[in-house]
Amino acid sequence: MNPKPISESRAVKTAIVLPPDTNNLGTMFGGKVMAYIDDTAGLSAMRHSRMTVVTASTDSVDFLHPIRSDHAICLESFVTWTHKTSMEVFVKIMGEDLRTGKRTVCATAFLTSVALDEKGKPHPVPGVIPETELEKRLYDTAPARARIRNKRRKESQALAKDFGT
């Protein structure tokens, strides 16, 4: 399986933020932002693997700035690194004041997606080829993030066992 340039997995989603998307402060619901993050990351993972994918984990999402009603939310995602059947996907979330054109990075997130075959079993994915300096930096730092994720997953499994599941 030949590795693919990161640029081949890039996905962009833009939507206007309407009043039903917002809380009592007129800013976008965090859960709505997280749904957009998952959707956009899934597109990138499918573009990279050309398979059905599922989200295995979402790293922390830190909301840095609010996105207001009548602004746009703009998400950009791409696969930064792969393991055997999993892909790390980076998502940048921006708010855009449509009247002034000012864009602000409002959040960033890393998600892990797993490729599935026709029977719903994990399937190997191609590697990635980072091209830009940012892509190279994200690629080089991905194994450390993967170790943290694996540790967190084991802790979650132990906690679930303590609760009897």
pLDDT tens for 63-85 read: 999 999 999 999 999 999 999 99
Residue 155 has pLDDT above 70, yes or no: yes
Q: What was the pLDDT predicted at 164?
A: 84
The closest of 93, 90, 86 to 28, measured between CA atoms, is 93
CB 95 within 8 A of CB 139: no
Q: What is the pTM of this model?
A: 0.94
Q: Letter for the amino acid at 138?
A: L
Q: What was the pLDDT predicted at 88?
A: 98
Strand ranges (E), 17-64: 52-58
Q: Higher-confidence residue: 96 or 1?
A: 96
Please count the other Cβ atoms lying within 10 Å of the Cβ belonging to residue 157: 11
Q: Which CATH class is domain 4-162?
A: alpha beta
Q: What was the pLDDT predicted at 60?
A: 86
Please count the other Cβ atoms lying within 10 Å of the Cβ belonging to residue 160: 10
d(CA 156, CA 39): 24
Q: What average pLDDT does this structure show over 89-100?
A: 98
